[in-house]
Structure 1
Amino acid sequence: MSEYLYKRVLLKLSGEALMGEGRYGIDPEVTERLARQVKQLHDDGVQVGIVVGGGNIFRGLAGSANGMDRAQADYMGMLATVMNALALQDAFERLDAPCRVMSAIQMNEVCEPYIRRRAINHLQKGDIVIFAAGSGNPYFTTDTAAALRACEIGAECLLKATKVDGVYDKDPVSNPDAVRFDRITYHEVLVRGLQVMDSTAAALCQDNRMPIIVLNIEGEDNIKNALKGEPVGTVVVQED
């Protein structure tokens, strides 16, 4: 445990990360691979909370753009995150890793309601905790939910695992000359309008001095190495 810089972390996974090579849905091979990475942290004594998006099943903003009521579309997106959370829980349990799913929207037949003190107690007992249904409120993204849960549970770091290997000065997909940052401040992220997390999530992390590490989820040991302080991805921190 001493080799890790952080004892309790919040991992933010996009729904798209669960698709694998598919165009939608959940790839069981991907959930198993993710579960193995997180289980290794768990076995090493790191307390792990997870917030997962739902974009692989339904994205509220996309529904709103197509004419749906925004709040209604967002609630549908929250339900999609619950499906992803249950799939991840199944992957953890098949590896004999204790896991709880806590939902911001009550659905007692399939998961627990989110209660902050209970969530912290689960983490302290050694359970991996997956926070589903975002924040339970429309108009807020799962990025904001991740920042909120990280602050609420007293996480020491927020890990955002994406398909990109860090934060760039512009879109690296359409700009081959894009430059990746090894380290950047919240202020720079907000002023430059960089797509680390949405502005609400970034501002919440800034106000609570919550470091963010943005990394590529596809690397086998990227999460573990980042938590050891190795130069993986981009670190977003408060100004000195």
Structure 2
Amino acid sequence: MKYKRILLKLSGEALTGSQSYGIDPEVLERYSQEIKKAIDKGVEVAIVIGGGNIYRGVQAEKSGIDRVQGDYMGMLATLINAMAIQSSLEKIGVDTRLMSGLKIDQVCEQFIRRRALRHLEKGRVVIFGAGIGNPYFTTDSTASLRAVEVEADVVLKGTRVDGVYTADPEKDPKAEKFDSISFAEVYQRGLNVMDMTAFTLCKENNLPIIVFDMNKSGNLVKLVEGEKVGTLIAE
């Protein structure tokens, strides 16, 4: 395997599938099967998932809710998705641990770095929910920070597009895809890969990012085996 330990970042919106809201059981099962294939190859997997299919903290101000309060609501939304992924993985025989940035003892462990590393070393999938436990930080930032903390080899950002383009490929048919691109060029072109905090954290720690289509069967395994899938962002 090219990558021994990965941090898989998934969007909450992807879990809606064909629905307009919530969690599509078919998408959940498909993602779980893809993750299991990677685990069966001996890869250590950590996961961060967003909560946009349930609630986004940035919606708070529009609805009259205090931004900080809204961010905490968004953290709880990510925890719901994390619990769903945990249940789906365990249903197919994958050993997991759910760790939270917030203290909620009834459903998950509080994040402790050494404990997370131990879980990964034992072959358990570690799912990080509730962000980093502080407002004003996105799940992209959570993914970057946790990846650095658990010494992941790469951040794999699973999206509904197959990489990074010169423009939004869903809006511009002339958009061209990058097979690889440097952190500096992403800055220069103003490409929307991750929020700036998350992106800078990866850059400063020489942590590569690969943006790929998680909905295409087999892509995750191909990536961990070293095949060129999606767009690699590195120095």
TM category, shorter = over 0.9
- Preserved CA contact (<8 Å) 1:190 1:199: no
Instruction: Give yes or no for the alignment of 1:61 onto 2:76.
Output: no
1:42 alignment partner in structure 2? 39
**Among residues 8, 13, 32, which one is paired with 1:11 in the alignment?**
8
Instruction: Give yes or no for the alignment of 1:106 onto 2:103.
Output: yes
- Preserved CA contact (<8 Å) 1:102 1:130: yes
Which amino acid counterpart does residue 84 of structure 1 have in structure 2? N
Instruction: Give yes or no for the alignment of 1:117 onto 2:119.
Output: no
Runs of 4+ in 1 over 6 A off after TM superposition: none
Trace 1:146-161 onto structure 2 (pairs within 5 A): 146-161=143-158
Give TM-score scaled by structure 1 length. 0.96
2:197 alignment partner in structure 1? 200
- Preserved CA contact (<8 Å) 1:89 1:99: yes
Once the two structures are TM-superposed, the CA of residue 187 in structure 1 deviates from its matched residue by 1.1
Which amino acid counterpart does residue 155 of structure 2 have in structure 1? L
| 1:188 alignment partner, SS class | helix
Instruction: Give yes or no for the alignment of 1:92 onto 2:89.
Output: yes
- Matched residues, percent identical? 53
Instruction: Give yes or no for the alignment of 1:135 onto 2:132.
Output: yes
Instruction: Give yes or no for the alignment of 1:229 onto 2:223.
Output: no
Once the two structures are TM-superposed, the CA of residue 229 in structure 1 deviates from its matched residue by 2.0
Trace 1:154-173 onto structure 2 (pairs within 5 A): 154-173=151-170
Which amino acid counterpart does residue 80 of structure 2 have in structure 1? M
- Preserved CA contact (<8 Å) 1:6 1:46: yes
Which runs of 5 or more structure 1 residues have no equivalent in the other structure? none
CA distance in 2, matches of 1:103, 1:64: 25
- Preserved CA contact (<8 Å) 2:113 2:150: yes
CA distance in 1, matches of 2:169, 2:63: 28
CA distance in 2, matches of 1:181, 1:228: 20
Once the two structures are TM-superposed, the CA of residue 157 in structure 1 deviates from its matched residue by 0.5
- Preserved CA contact (<8 Å) 2:3 2:226: no
CA distance in 2, matches of 1:116, 1:193: 33
- Preserved CA contact (<8 Å) 1:104 1:114: yes
CA distance in 1, matches of 2:195, 2:161: 16
| 1:120 alignment partner, SS class | helix
Which amino acid counterpart does residue 133 of structure 1 have in structure 2? A
Greater CA drift, 195-204 or 225-234 = 225-234
CA distance in 2, matches of 1:184, 1:18: 28
CA distance in 1, matches of 2:8, 2:61: 27
Residue deviations 1:144-177 (CA, integer Å, cap 9, x gap): 1000000000000000000111001111111110
| 1:184 alignment partner, SS class | strand
> CA RMSD for the aligned pairs?
0.9
Trace 1:179-190 onto structure 2 (pairs within 5 A): 179-190=176-187
Which amino acid counterpart does residue 169 of structure 2 have in structure 1? P
CA distance in 2, matches of 1:136, 1:214: 25
CA distance in 2, matches of 1:191, 1:105: 36
Residue deviations 1:202-228 (CA, integer Å, cap 9, x gap): 100000000000001110001111222
Give TM-score scaled by structure 2 length. 0.98
CA distance in 2, matches of 1:174, 1:123: 39
- Preserved CA contact (<8 Å) 1:190 1:202: no
**Among residues 25, 32, 44, which one is paired with 1:28 in the alignment?**
25
Which amino acid counterpart does residue 75 of structure 1 have in structure 2? Y
Which runs of 5 or more structure 2 residues have no equivalent in the other structure? none
- Preserved CA contact (<8 Å) 1:85 1:130: yes
CA distance in 2, matches of 1:13, 1:190: 22
CA distance in 2, matches of 1:48, 1:88: 13
